Structure 1
Amino acid sequence: MVRALHGWDAHNVTEDADLGLRLALAGYTVGDLPSPTFEEAPARLGPWLGQRTRWLKGLVQTSLTHGRRPLANARSLGGLETLCAAALVPGTVASALAYPVCLAGAAWSFLVLDIPAAPVFLDNLSTGLAITLFGTGLAALVLPALVGCARRGWGDLAQSVPWMPVYFLLVSLAAWLALIELVRAPLRWNKTRHGLARTSRSGRRRRRAAPATACDTGRDPGGGECASA
C-alpha cells in the first residue's frame, strides 16, 4: 500500500501527518485504535519543547506540500473531509500561533475594560458571542484533560488541569520556533529520547507490579550476577 502511494515526503519531520493525508487522498479511511498508549512524554521542558517544535514544523511542511493543489485535493477528499484536514493540519499551527494574541485580547477585554450592557438584545449580541466563545474555548482546553484523568484514575493530575491555558502558551512558543526552524534549518530533526521509565507513570506501575528480585533488594545471591547485569 505504501509503495502504491509512492512513499512519503522523506524531508517531512512529522511523517505520519504527511502519510495520513496521502492515504486520505488515495481514498483510504484513516482512523485510530481505541486503545491506550504507554509512550512516555518528555518530563523536562527542553526535550518537550524540541518535540513539539518538530511536530508543528512537520505540520507546516505537510500544509505546504499538499497545499500546492488545493482545489484538486478538495475534490479528492470531499467537503467535510477537506474542512477536517484544514482544521487538523494547518489549523493546529495557525491556532497555536494566534493563541497568545487572542488570550491577551480576551484578558484585556474581560478583566480590564468594562463590559457594556445595552437595553436592546441585538446590541448585546456581539459581546454575548465573545463571552460564549471564550467560555467554550476554555472548556475545550480543560474538560478533555479532566475526562482523561478521571478515566485513567489519575486524580492527582487533576490539580494541574487549571494550568492548561499556560501549557498552550508553551505550545504557541513551539509553533513560533517551528516557523523559525523551518526557515533556518528545515531538515533538522529534534530527536526525542525514549525509554526513560522512571519519568513515566506506566513505568512506575510496571515496577510496582513486578516482583522484587534479590538484585532489586540489594542482596547479591553470589557469583556476581547483579554486578554483571
Structure 2
Amino acid sequence: MKNSPRGTAPSRKTARDLLSLGQLILILVIGTATLTCLVAWPRPAATVLVSAALLFYVLFVGLKLTLHIASRRYVPPAIEPVSIDDPDLPTYTVLIPLYKEANMLGSLVGSIDGLSYPKDRLQVLLLLEEDDTETRAEAIGLDLPERYTTVVIPDLAPKGKPKALNMGLAQATGVHTVIYDAEDRPDHDQLLKAVAAFRASGRDLACVQARLFFWNEDSSWITRFYWSEYVIHFERVLPGLSKLGLIPPLGGTSNHFRTDALRRTALSHDVLPPGAEGIGGWDPWNVTEDAELAGALAARGYRIAMIDSVTREEATARPGVANRQRRRWLKGFLQTGLVYTRQPYQTARQMGFRRWFCYNLLMLGTPVSLLLNPLFWGLTVIYVMTRSTLVESLFPVPIVGALLMVAGNLLFFYQLVGACVNRGGYGSIKFLLLTPLWWAFTSWSAYGVLWELARPSTRHKWNKTPHGHDLGKEKGQLIEISGAGTGMGHVPKPALRGRLG
C-alpha cells in the first residue's frame, strides 16, 4: 500500500439509482436466458442454477473460513495512548446524529464529557432533525457547555444518518472526526488511542475503528444472538480482513477519521440532496453509509485499521425492531455491492482485484446467502422425506452439496459457541439451540429487503432503531478486564475462563 493517497480522486457513485443501465441490461439478458432455458430444458437448466449457487457457497463460506483462520494470527498494534497533557494534541470533532432520542441525551452527554481529552480541543456537534422537536427541546434544556453545538438537519428526503453526517462534516473544525450514536459508551481514552494510531502511521491511514460490544446480552434471545454476532464480527471478521490486507467494512459508530481524508473522498456536491448538501463524505442514498464509505476510502488509496478500544452499545431486544434493523443493514449491503460493481474493471483497478472481489463478496454475499438458504433448506427437507431422484439429479456432485451444508453450518455454529466461551457468555450457550430459528429470522429479513428495494418509496428508507430500553443494564458492567481471543480491547464481562475458536 502506498504511503499517501492517490492524487486524483476516482469517480464515486451513489446508491440513488438502484441499477446502472449496464447492470439493468445484464440482469435482463441473464434473466431472459435463464427463463428460456428453464422452459426449454428444465432439468439441465435447474442443475446449472444449483451448481452456480453451490459455487457461490464455496466462495462465500471459504472466505468466512479464511477470515476465521487469519484472525487467530492477528495481533493489534501495541500503541500506547497519547498523554492528555500532550501540548500538540489535535482538535477533535465529535459527530452525534440523533433522531427521537431525547431520553438518551442526558446519559450520552455524560459519556462524552467523560472522555479523557482536553475540553478546549473538542467540538461536539449534535445533529438533530428539523422535525424532532422533543430532542431539540431536551438539548436546549440541558444548558450544554460551549463546545456543544446543535446542527438542525432540514426535513428533506432522503432522511437518515448519512445526510445528517454530511451536514455535520460541513461544520467540522477538528483535525480528526469521530462518530458516536446515542447509546454509545466509549472507553474514556479512546480518542487518545486514536491520535496515537494516526501518529504512528502514514497519511494513507484515513480511519481507525474501535470494537463495539453490547452491554445487554441477556435481555432476550434476540440480544444474545446480536451479542454473539458482534463478537464474531469484531474478533474474527474484521481482524481477519485486516490480517489479509483486505477492506474492513466500517460499522456505523466509533470510527475515527482524518477529517481531510473524508473531504478528499467526498461525493460531488451536485449529487447531494438539494437544500442539505453539506459535504458528501457519506452517501445519503445508502442506508449502510458506513460500509460504503470503507469502499470509497479504499478506492481513493486510503487504509482502515483497528484500535484496541471498546465502545459499549445497547442491542435491540424485540423481534420487530430487530427485523427492521437487519433489513436496513442487508439493504445497504446490496446497495453498496451494486454500486461497486457498476464499473468493475475501473473499480477493481482502484482497489486491487483481490480486495475488490472480497469486499463485494461480503457486501453482496451476505444478503444473497440469506436469500438462498431457505431454498436449499426446502430441497433438503423434500429429499429427506421423499428420497426424490429429481432433487438428487439437481446436484451434479451430491457429496459437494452435503459437505457445504454440513461444513458451512458447523462453521457458523462453531463461531457462535466460540463467541460465548471466549467472552464469558456461558448463559447464552443454551440459547444457541435456537440457531435455526435465528437463521430463518434473518432470511425473513432478507426477503423483506427485496420488497423494499422494489418500491421507490422504501428503497432509501432508513429504518430507525429506537434505544434506551435497557439503559439500566449498563450499570455495574463497566469493569474492564483483559480481552481474549484476538486481544481486541477491554470488555465489560466477568473473568474469562476457556477459549474456543
Q: Give CA-to-partner distance per residue, 1:173-229, whole Å, 9 cap, x none.
A: 1111112112321221111112322585xx264399xxxxxxxxxxxxxxxxxxxxx
Change (3 A) 1:204 1:170: farther
Q: Which amino acid aligns with 1:187?
A: H
- Which residue, 311, 315, 318 being the options, matches 1:41? 315
Paired residue for 2:438?
A: 167
* Residues 97, 175 of structure 1: 8 Å contact kept: yes
Paired residue for 1:155?
A: 426
Q: Which amino acid aligns with 2:264?
A: A
TM-score (norm. length: structure 1) = 0.77
Are 1:56 and 2:330 matched, yes or no? yes
Q: Which amino acid aligns with 1:20?
A: A
* Residues 13, 55 of structure 1: 8 Å contact kept: yes
Change (3 A) 1:152 1:207: closer
Paired residue for 2:460?
A: 187
Structure 1: tracts of 5 or more residues without a match = 117-124, 209-229
User: Aligned to 2:264, what secondary structure does the other structure show?
Assistant: coil
Paired residue for 1:75?
A: 349
Structure 2: tracts of 5 or more residues without a match = 1-260, 267-280, 390-395, 480-501
Write out aligned runs for 1:84-163 (5 A): 84-109=358-383, 111-114=384-387, 126-163=397-434
Distance in 2, Cα, partners of 1:115 & 1:132: 19
Change (3 A) 1:128 1:115: farther
Distance in 2, Cα, partners of 1:2 & 1:139: 40
1:153 shift after superposition: 1.1
Q: Give CA-to-partner distance per residue, 1:40-76, whole Å, 9 cap, x none.
A: 2211101000100111111122122222211111122
Paired residue for 1:211?
A: none
Distance in 1, Cα, partners of 2:429 & 2:311: 19
* Residues 5, 23 of structure 1: 8 Å contact kept: yes
Q: Which amino acid aligns with 1:16?
A: D
**Which protein, 1 or 2, shows the higher relative CO under an 8 Å CA cutoff with sep ≥ 6?**
1
Q: Give CA-to-partner distance per residue, 1:94-138, whole Å, 9 cap, x none.
A: 1111111022223333x325599xxxxxxxx92332222111111
Q: Which amino acid aligns with 2:463?
A: N
* Residues 371, 446 of structure 2: 8 Å contact kept: yes
Q: CA RMSD in A?
A: 2.7
Distance in 2, Cα, partners of 1:199 & 1:168: 29
Change (3 A) 1:107 1:145: same
Distance in 1, Cα, partners of 2:478 & 2:351: 46
Change (3 A) 1:151 1:205: farther
Q: Which amino acid aligns with 1:193?
A: P
Change (3 A) 1:88 1:30: farther
Paired residue for 1:28?
A: 302
Change (3 A) 1:18 1:206: same
Paired residue for 1:2?
A: 262
TM-score (norm. length: structure 2) = 0.37
Q: Across the two proteins, how many residue pairs are aligned to each other?
A: 199
Change (3 A) 1:170 1:31: farther
Q: Which amino acid aligns with 1:182?
A: L
Name whichever structure is richer in strand by fraction: 2
Change (3 A) 1:128 1:182: closer
Paired residue for 1:12?
A: 286
